[in-house]
């Protein structure tokens, strides 16, 4: 059990204001209303700015480190081992090895690799690990929850689909998650995709439960009955009418799950099962940096601080979204 108080009312967050807006003739859509409430939360806005900045850094960093040789994060510069941040490059380096602007803003590591370049590469990979893992968990959660909520009454032999899927969810919930991730990652061949898949496959259960609950409530609503009466095909009712209305709680948990996935990746790196070289992620830069914690503390502090800021930003945005989607809180805060 975690902090998930006030999930359920979110289902009403989108439907009634929609009707109200129509009745009053006001032009404000639910999204605009959400944005208006969200904008008032200063911490959440701060988190949003950080995430936008991170997105730019990750994309620019990916382009720079992949296509510009002087930003290559794997360039080894042995004369410049363990240089502290902001130190200039030594003059004995060959010309094509010189780092950008002849300096190391974040210092260098034990092989003289430029930590700035490694962090830039890591930002893209860490972010992709988080986003791909959460997309996988969303896909599984939406399918399982949606099937159980929409087709739950149908029977396969003696048991209903709903019972089958939800008992399966219970089974997966009973596994000690981190232990399971650790076991599977340790047994599988090391690869960045396996880590994404394993994290995704062990974090879909809460999404499935939310979606099922939303679907059960939505199925009884008038607009779904209307859609059925119009003779729309089932897939269209599910994808065009029900899923968009069920997304609110899913969006919140997805935002927070990205933060979890980044932390899980760093914990796996710490135990030696993370993303393998040559890929740099913030998690494995941090995990490698701990061997030099006395001689080169920046190798430990810089990735640690980066993870902290980004995960914090995801958490703040997630909580801001949850508050903005919760009609009870919205009324109270005026």
Partner 1 sequence: MWRFLARTIVQRLLLLVVISIVSHTVIHLAPGEPTEVDAMNPMMKAEDVARIRKSFHLDEPIHLQYLHWMKDLGTGELKSFRDGLPVLPKIWERFLNSLPLFLCTTLIVWTASFPVGIQAALKRGSRYDRSTTFFAYTLISIPGFFLSYLLILWVVRTFHLPVIGLRTFGTDSGSGIMRVMDRIWHLVIPSLMAALTGIAVLSRYVRAQMLEVLAQDYVRTARAKGLDEDHVVYGHALRNALLPFVTMFGLLLPGLISGSVIFEQIFAWPGLGLLGYEAILARDFPVILTLNFMAAALTLFGILLSDLLYALVDPRIRLQ
Q: Which two structure tokens, joined as six digits, stand for 119? A: 């962090």
Query: Binding residue for partner 1 (CB under 8 A) from 202, 255, 266, 284?
Result: 266
Q: Which two structure tokens, joined as six digits, stand for 252? A: 């919140």
The reply on whether position 259 binds partner 1 by CB under 8 A is yes
We find the least distance from the C-beta atom of residue 5 to partner 1, in angstroms, to be 4
Query: Binding residue for partner 1 (CB under 8 A) from 242, 316, 321, 324?
Result: 316
Q: Which two structure tokens, joined as six digits, stand for 108? A: 């260098």
CA–CA gap between residue 323 and residue 45 (Å, rounded): 13
Q: Is residue 293 exposed (0-12), middle (13-18) or buried (19+ Cβ within 10 Å)?
A: exposed
Candidates 22-30, 62-70, 115-123, 286-294; binding stretch for partner 1 (CB under 8 A):
286-294
The reply on whether position 159 binds partner 1 by CB under 8 A is no
Query: Binding residue for partner 1 (CB under 8 A) from 143, 160, 163, 183?
Result: 183
Say how far residue 85 (Cα) sits from the centre of its chain.
30
The reply on whether position 91 binds partner 1 by CB under 8 A is no
CA–CA gap between residue 93 and residue 116 (Å, rounded): 18
Candidates 32-40, 91-99, 127-135, 172-180; binding stretch for partner 1 (CB under 8 A):
172-180
Phi, psi at 103, each rounded to 5°: -150, 165
We find the least distance from the C-beta atom of residue 244 to partner 1, in angstroms, to be 27
Of the two residues 43 and 131, which places its CB atom closer to partner 1 in the complex? 43
Q: Which two structure tokens, joined as six digits, stand for 118? A: 């490694």
The reply on whether position 6 binds partner 1 by CB under 8 A is yes
Q: Are 283 and 126 in contact (CB under 8 A)?
A: yes
Q: Which two structure tokens, joined as six digits, stand for 271? A: 């135990």
CA–CA gap between residue 147 and residue 163 (Å, rounded): 11
The reply on whether position 187 binds partner 1 by CB under 8 A is yes
* Whole-number Cα distances in Å, 259 to 242, 243, 253, 308: 27, 23, 10, 10
Candidates 65-73, 105-113, 173-181, 211-219; binding stretch for partner 1 (CB under 8 A):
173-181
We find the least distance from the C-beta atom of residue 32 to partner 1, in angstroms, to be 25
Residues that bind partner 1 (CB under 8 A): 1-3, 5-6, 43, 167, 170-171, 173-180, 182-184, 186-189, 259, 263, 266-267, 270-271, 283, 286, 290, 293, 300, 304, 307-308, 311-312, 314-316, 319, 332
């Amino acid at each position: 059990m975690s902090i998930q108080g006030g999930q359920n009312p979110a289902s009403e967050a989108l439907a009634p204001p929609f009707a109200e807006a129509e009745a009053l003739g006001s032009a404000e859509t639910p999204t605009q209303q959400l944005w208006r409430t969200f904008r008032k939360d200063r911490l959440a806005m701060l988190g949003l700015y950080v995430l936008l900045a991170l997105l730019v850094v990750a994309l620019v960093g990916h382009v720079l480190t992949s296509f510009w040789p002087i930003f290559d994060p794997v360039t080894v510069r042995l004369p410049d081992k363990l240089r502290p941040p902001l130190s200039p490059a030594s003059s004995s380096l060959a010309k094509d090895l010189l780092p950008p602007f002849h300096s190391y803003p974040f210092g260098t590591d034990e092989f003289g690799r430029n930590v700035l370049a490694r962090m830039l590469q890591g930002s893209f990979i860490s972010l992709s690990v988080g986003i791909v893992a959460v997309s996988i968990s969303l896909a599984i959660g939406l399918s399982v929850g949606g099937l159980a909520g929409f087709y739950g009454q149908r029977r396969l032999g003696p048991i209903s689909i709903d019972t089958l899927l939800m008992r399966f969810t219970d089974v997966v919930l009973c596994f000690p998650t981190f232990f399971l991730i650790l076991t599977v990652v340790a047994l599988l061949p090391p690869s960045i995709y396996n880590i994404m898949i394993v994290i995704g496959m062990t974090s879909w259960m809460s999404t499935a439960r939310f979606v099922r609950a939303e679907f059960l409530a939505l199925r009884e609503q008038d607009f779904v009955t209307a859609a059925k009466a119009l003779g729309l095909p089932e897939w269209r009712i599910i994808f065009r009418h029900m899923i968009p209305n069920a997304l609110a709680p899913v969006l919140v948990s997805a935002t927070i799950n990205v933060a979890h996935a980044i932390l899980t990746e760093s914990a796996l790196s710490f135990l030696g099962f993370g993303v393998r070289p040559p890929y740099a992620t913030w998690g494995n830069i941090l995990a490698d940096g701990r061997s030099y914690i006395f001689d080169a503390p920046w190798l430990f502090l810089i990735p640690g601080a980066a993870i902290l800021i980004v995960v914090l930003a995801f958490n703040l945005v997630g909580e801001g979204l949850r508050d903005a989607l919760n009609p009870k809180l919205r009324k109270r805060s005026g």
